[in-house]
Amino acid sequence: MTTAEPITGPQAPARTLATAMLLPTDPGPEALRVRPLTQATLYSHGARIAVPSYDRGALTPAVVHLSVGGFSRAHQLIYFDELAERRISTGWGVVGVGLRQRHLQDALAPQDHLYTVVERSPDGERARVVGVMVDYLYAPDAPAAVLDRLSDPRTRLVTLTITPGGYLLDPQTRAFTADHPDVHRDLAEPHAPATVFGYLLEALDRRRQAGLAPFTVVSCDNLHRNGEATRASVVGLARLRDEVLARWITDRVAFPSSMVDRITPQTPPEERAALAARYGVDDRWPVVTEPFSQWFVEDTFSNGRPPLDQVGVRFVPDVGDYELMKTRLLNASHSAMGHLGSLAGYDRMDELMGDPVFATYVERLMDDEVTPLLPQPDGVDLTDYKRTLLQRFANPAIADRLSRLCRRGSAKLPQHLLPSLRQSLVEGRPAPLLLLAVAGWCRYLRGTDDDGRPLPLEDPRADELHALALAGGGDPRPLLDVRAVFGDLGDDPVVVAALTGAIETIDRLGARAAVAAALGVPALPPSR
């Protein structure tokens, strides 16, 4: 199996491959017959778009996904939908849970929890309606209902996409943050938790007391050893509540790490109108994504393993090498290109990849400075994986916005970029392109691009980091003092000097010319 094998490959059933390429500008009067997306109207859409052919009423709600968003609907739920569609199993229906925002419930409930996924490539697009979600609950409005679902004997698997910052772990020691206000609430009000881990803990306690087997918990976040991080958070909270419960969880509950990969930009409002015009489907919140999809999961389960290996998931003894491959190549490249490209005035990743300076930069960053630090994952050709990444970055049909890649930089840098920089320092390897990526983030935090236009600062530490970046100017030491991000890197005078020089070059030349200088190539004007 190659790393570029999507679940919608040649081996997929006819329904998955019921493609609908981009229609002409004037598709004819039939396209104007727009119908809402509901169970009652589902099969009226079948002539134009792939719809579930299985009996949704036969689905067993065995999976609870906590914090449903665009990515989970384009990734994890597609695999479970394939199990039902290929008649492999209807025993893995999904219950979605929202934690912070009510809007997805408002969109999905009138649609009987159906939604549309549109896969786009330079060659066109294909669309499908996903039917595997059997219910959706908004936790703040219905904590008892969420706990009942998690405690239900039919629930055998819980999956998470809560972002790395939601794990309540110290970023350097990975110790559980016991003094967090939400932790105090979880302990004081276990029947109305404030955190994911409060819900998991209360449900596991109910299952223990009822003599039920625990569910397996699979994190799908871009977090180093995400299974271990999830275990640390759940067990850390349990120890504050009941040591016996903590020991039961340690002994009985599986927390396999996983690596997920599918570029899924945030769906803009105009996509709803585009879907209606092309396919006659009125979907309140469709998802747009790329054809590529990948999921590696450690083969450790508490209460039965879903047969996901029959629809493209790889179960492996240890996910570590695959995680490093993805986070240090894809995610680190996203961070580097997002910040430097935004400074240079670009808005989209595909446009940035059309600039030979930046295209060369990301290729050499991966080849020269990151790949030599990586282990060789079993069954994966890193050269092929990087080639696929460059194609995915350049996909104009996705039009991934750089602003999305720049969000939560204070959480992403310590996970994706800084580990490679640290390892390079230990091994005595030069890392000018990695340093330039870090310098790009430091410069981005001032909130303006090279021409003085404002840049969005979407980060939980935005106010603090913005003030430090402005105070330091070309001096990175105020930012390097933020140990939650940089650890002890600021104690190394070589790092301080190199980062100072990189920021000064960006200030003096602009981001694009600074990249060209680091590459030793002419900074000819881009052809835009």
DSSP string, 271-337: HHHHHHHHH-EE-SS-EEE-S--EEEEES--SS----GGGGT-EEES--HHHHHHIIIIIIHHHHHH
pLDDT digits 0-9 by tens, 212-248: 999 999 999 999 999 999 999 999 999 999 999 999 9
Tens-place pLDDT, residues 498-522:
999 999 999 999 999 999 999 998 8
Q: Does the pLDDT of residue 421 top 60, yes or no?
A: yes
For residues 296 and 334, membership in a common domain is answered with no
Domain final residue pick, 276, 306, 336: 306
Q: Are the C-beta atoms of 267 and 127 separated by less than 8 Å?
A: no
Asked whether residue 316 is assigned to any structural domain, the reply reads no
**Is 486 in the same domain as 401?**
yes
Q: How far is CA 346 from the centre of its chain?
A: 22
| CATH at residue 211 | 3.40.50.720
Q: Assess whether 382 and 482 both reside in one domain.
A: yes
Instruction: Please indicate, yes or no, whether residues 258 and 364 belong to a single structural domain of this protein.
Output: no
Structural domain contains residue 528: no
Residues 439, 358 share a domain: yes
Q: Which of 251, 280, 306 is the last residue of a domain?
A: 306
The residue ranking higher by pLDDT, 523 or 233, is 233
What's the CA gap between 318 and 316, in Å, rounded? 6
Please, what is the average pLDDT of the chain? Answer: 93
Query: Is there a single domain that holds both residue 273 and residue 329?
Result: no
Gap between the Cα atoms of 124 and 21, Å rounded? 5
For residue 20, pLDDT over 60 is answered with no
Residue 503 shares a structural domain with residue 400: yes
Query: How many Cβ atoms are within 10 Å of 210's Cβ, its own excluded?
Result: 9
With a cut of 90, say whether residue 8 has pLDDT above it. no
Asked if pLDDT for residue 307 goes beyond 90, the answer is yes
The answer to the question of residue 11 being in a domain is no
Question: Who's near 401: CB < 8 A, 6+ residues apart?
Answer: 265, 266, 347, 348, 349
Q: What is the CATH number of the domain that holds 400?
A: 1.10.1040.10
Determine contact, residues 92/56, Cβ cutoff 8 Å.
Answer: no
The answer to whether 303 and 214 are in contact (CB under 8 A) is yes
Range of the domain at 361: 321-519
In a domain? residue 9: no
* Band of pLDDT at residue 100, cut at 50, 70 and 90: confident
Q: Is 187 exposed, middle or buried (0-12, 13-18, 19+ CB in 10 A)?
A: middle
Q: Are 415 and 327 in contact (CB under 8 A)?
A: yes
Give the number of domains in the chain. Answer: 2
pLDDT tens track for 192-218 = 999 999 999 999 999 999 999 999 999
Distance, CA of 257 to chain centre: 14
Q: Are 261 and 301 contained in the same domain?
A: yes
Residue 254 domain flag: yes
Whether residue 115 is found in the same domain as residue 181: yes
Q: Do residues 61 and 191 both lie within one domain?
A: yes
- pLDDT, one tens digit per residue, over 391-408 is 999 999 998 999 999 999
Does 331 share its domain with 211? Answer: no
Q: Longest Cα pair distance anywhere in the chain, in angstroms?
A: 69
pLDDT at 32: 57
Residue 314 covered by a domain? no
Confidence class of residue 173 from pLDDT cuts 50, 70 and 90?
confident
What percent of the chain has pLDDT above 90?
89
In a domain, 16, yes or no: no
Which helix H or strand E contains 234, and what residues bound it?
helix 226-241
